Structure 1
Amino acid sequence: MAKNYYDITLALAGICQSALLVRQLAHKGVCDDDALDVSLRSVLDLNPSTTLKVYGDRPVNLKPGLEAMTGMLNASREGVAADITRYTLSLMVLERKLHANKNALDELAKRIGQLERQLSHFELMSETLISAMASIYVDVISPLGPRIQVTGTPAMLQNLQVQAKVRATLLAGIRSAVLWQQVGGGRLQLMFGRNRLFKQARQILAQC
């Protein structure tokens, strides 16, 4: 069956957006709040009618991720692109571990259901919700291993609020990695379909 490269590209951009935000947080302690809102909100939509709906139904919501993705596909081996590649591949490995673990999947679904209830009392970007998402990552995803080694500025990495945001953002990255598999994405595309993914990302960026 022919692959839907539009949906596959959106999901990969979602992973890359999380990877980019993790890098920003780890180095500066702050990140693009609009992009973070899109990424964190994606965690809550487990039954979307379309792939784009996961990201607020607007391609522009994934612009940072699409730009990060094109940098990654250009095969730069240093700086931002190298970190994004490392985080993206690590998230894909963790997603496969999650997929193979029914208990972890059940627990994840239960905990995300609890998040939705909390959302009626707290803002998505509140410390309470971000801490709750971080806890889900620590309790459900992290034990699946291997752990993602986040690198950055030591002072930022030691800040508890930054740590919580990084973990919540990694959870969002797992959400996009799950979606990537659901729409037909896989490691083979990253090896043999890079040009097609790059062109599709450029086409979507042109609409932003």
Structure 2
Amino acid sequence: MTKTLRNQVIALAGLSQAVYLVQHIAKRGTADREDMAASIGSVLKIDSGDVVDVYGGLHCVMTGLRQIEKQLGGPDVVDPELARYASTLIFLERKLMKQPRMLEAIRAGMEKAAAIAEERGVLDEEVLATLAETYHQTVSQLKPRVMVAGEQMYLSDPENGNRIRALLLAGIRSVVLWRKCGGSRWKLLFLRPKLQKEAQQLLESLSRT
């Protein structure tokens, strides 16, 4: 992965999109299917060498780019819940990298889900269930756990639970990409204006296509 600010922002967009979809499912019981397909699809592209390709194209993380533009703005526009989800996943990724057995289990789960997706599609319920179980057996065992807030009627639905866990795994996947592209917590703290500007430029490029 090329260590550029552009690639870091695209990976952060993947993370932002994943947690945004988690929030929507938890509170509304649904989420945009195209955005879902891009986020879940990113988990299934295990060995891709290009960040944009992981998500299926820059346009596939437009929702995430919009969230970055907003979340890196002033405190009056930041969604603290989304910030909490994202920061927790960034923290958990560091812990996960020190757990080789968990990493092996995640790769096995991703490969199994990818094989199913080839026959049935990325958003097939068995694909989501496989990724959800992979998350449950690995990342979910680390502390702190991601505590998803929402409506109980949606959170108690098993299919929604699978979607949420699969998307949280997608969020972890994006954090891994972000690190590979040179991302770090200090850059999030001290390069916020540059990251926001890059997100804006990427959105402008999409609007011209």
Note if 1:65 corresponds to 2:61. no
Instruction: Give the distance between the partners of 1:3 and 1:18, measured in 2 at CA.
Output: 22
Q: Percent identity?
A: 31
**d(CA) in 2 for partners of 1:186 and 1:31?**
29
Q: Which amino acid aligns with 1:190?
A: L
Aligned with 2:157 (options 156, 159, 162): 159
Tell me how far apart the structure 1 counterparts of residues 90 and 166 of structure 2 sit (CA, whole Å). 16
Residue 119 (structure 1) shift: 2.2
Map 1:19-58 to 2 at 5 A.
Answer: 19-56=19-56, 58=57
Unaligned runs of 5+ in 1: none
Task: Letter of the 2:118 partner, please give it.
Answer: S
Which residue pairs with 1:122 in the alignment?
Answer: 120
CA contact (8 A) 1:35 1:62 kept: yes
- Aligned ranges 1:75-154 → 2 under 5 Å: 75-76=74-75, 81-154=79-152
Identify unmatched segments of 5+ residues in structure 2.
Answer: none
CA contact (8 A) 2:46 2:110 kept: no
Residue in 2 that maps onto 1:172: 170
Q: Matches of 2:166 and 2:3 in 1, distance apart?
A: 30
Q: Return the offset for 1:13.
A: 0.6
Output the TM-score relative to the length of structure 1: 0.94
Could you say if the C-alpha distance between residues 114 and 52 of structure 1 is closer, same or farther in structure 2, counting changes exceeding 3 Å? same
Map 1:11-22 onto structure 2 (within 5 A): 11-22=11-22
- Using the size of structure 2 for normalisation, the TM-score is 0.93
- Distance (whole Å) between structure 2 residues aligned to residue 206 and residue 77 of structure 1: 23
Quote how far apart the aligned CAs of 1:64 are.
Answer: 0.4
RMSD: 1.6
Structure 1, residues 92-131: CA drift from partner, whole Å, max 9, x if none?
0111111111111111112212222222332211111111
**What is the number of residues matched between the two proteins?**
205
Structure 1 position 77, deviation (Å):
5.7
Alpha-carbon contact 1:19-1:173 (below 8 Å) kept:
yes
